[in-house]
């Protein structure tokens, strides 16, 4: 049986995909990628993300304000998000990419926290999962999630923290996004963490065009390379490749109701 995949985190509204969607989706399909969640990062991109999801059958949408867009954030952006949520589009499956980031210059962290909480409250109100970004903020983020207690949970994307931090998110009802980091042998901490976490709490992602995989440094990442992430995961895990592929797909279907 040929495995199939969902790329749960792709910025398909950016180059090199914009303008070559058909070719990019064909390459993804050839690698067994059946569905791709296009993750929004700022209010001025919401309409474009939704347009993509509505135009192309394999594409689904998540909308949110990324913490790296905090300097441009205005309260009107939250209204724009809620306007989309009120319409309950069939292909809008999550709120994201949202979260916290202490890696950027001038993080305006209190503003980040306020914007995160506002978006978490919308996720709760509209009964959607969240796609979470976290750099140097895992413990802080966990506090926010615990306080707001979302029934649908979500995924901590591009996870590179400790096993203890991962298990704290899992206990709170969140999945862990597994991406290209595990393809690098030098990422021994992340690889050993992912090897030991419950398989039922993992999802596949690329973060394309970001987070290039081992062997593709300097090139834009692509959704078809989610298959390479799966292959690396199979080398780290005790389960059979088929069980890994099937469990990941079921995890994704359950979380995002795809």
Kindly report the CATH number that applies to the domain delimited by 5-256.
3.20.20.140
H/E segment holding residue 63: strand 59-63
Average pLDDT for 55-62: 98
In this predicted structure, what is the pLDDT of residue 123? 98
Place of tokens 């998540």: 62
3-state secondary structure of 13: coil
Mean pLDDT of 82-99: 98
Give yes or no for residue 110 having a pLDDT over 80: yes
Please name which of 224, 177, 244 lies closest in space to residue 8, comparing C-alpha atoms.
177
Per-residue pLDDT for 250 more than 80? yes
Strand partners, 59: 36
Average pLDDT, the chain: 97
The pLDDT of 210-228, averaged and rounded, is 96
**Range 81-108 average pLDDT:** 97
DSSP class of 92:
E
Q: Annotation-wise, does 207 bind a ligand?
A: yes
What per-residue confidence (pLDDT) applies to 226? Answer: 98
Distance CA 57, CA 199 (A): 28
d(CA 167, CA 135): 17
On the question of pLDDT at 215 being above 90, the answer is yes
Residue 227 predicted with pLDDT over 90: yes
Is 77 annotated in some ligand binding site? no
Q: Residue 2: its pLDDT value, please?
A: 87
- What is residue 2's three-state secondary structure? coil
- Asked whether residue 1 carries a pLDDT value surpassing 80, the answer given is no
Query: What integer is the mean pLDDT of 7-25?
Result: 97
Residue 58 has pLDDT above 90, yes or no: yes
Q: Over the stretch 143-202, which tens digit does the pLDDT of each residue have?
A: 999 999 999 999 999 999 999 999 999 999 999 999 999 999 999 999 999 999 999 999
pLDDT value at residue 206: 98
Does 66 appear as a known binding residue?
no
Give the residue from 198, 258, 257, 245 showing the smallest Cα distance to 5.
245
- For the chain, the domains span 5-256
What is residue 117's predicted lDDT score, i.e. its pLDDT?
98
Q: Determine whether the annotation assigns residue 144 to a binding site.
A: no
Collapsing DSSP to helix, strand or coil, 30 comes out as: helix
């Amino acid at each position: 049986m040929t495995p199939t995949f969902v790329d749960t985190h792709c910025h398909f509204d950016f180059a090199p995909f914009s303008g070559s969607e058909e070719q990019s989706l064909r390459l993804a399909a050839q690698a067994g990628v059946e569905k791709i969640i296009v993750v929004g990062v700022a209010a001025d991109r919401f309409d474009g993300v939704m347009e993509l999801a509505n135009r192309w059958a394999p594409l689904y949408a998540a909308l949110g304000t990324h913490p790296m867009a905090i300097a441009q954030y205005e309260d009107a952006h939250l209204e724009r998000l809620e306007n989309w949520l009120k319409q309950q589009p069939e292909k809008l499956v999550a709120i994201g990419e949202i979260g916290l980031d202490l890696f950027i210059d001038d993080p305006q962290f209190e503003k980040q926290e306020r914007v995160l909480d506002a978006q978490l409250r919308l996720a709760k109100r509209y009964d959607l999962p969240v796609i979470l970004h976290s750099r140097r903020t895992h413990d802080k983020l966990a506090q926010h999630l615990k306080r707001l207690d979302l029934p649908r949970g979500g995924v901590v994307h591009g996870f590179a923290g400790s096993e203890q931090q991962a298990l704290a998110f899992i206990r709170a009802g969140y999945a862990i996004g597994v991406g290209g980091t595990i393809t690098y042998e030098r990422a021994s901490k992340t690889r050993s963490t992912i090897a030991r976490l419950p398989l039922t709490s993992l999802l596949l992602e690329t973060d394309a065009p970001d987070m290039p995989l081992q062997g593709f440094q300097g090139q834009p990442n692509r959704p078809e390379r989610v298959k390479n992430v799966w292959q690396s995961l199979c080398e780290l895990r005790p389960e059979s490749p088929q069980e890994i592929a099937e469990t990941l797909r079921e995890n994704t279907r359950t979380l995002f109701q795809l």
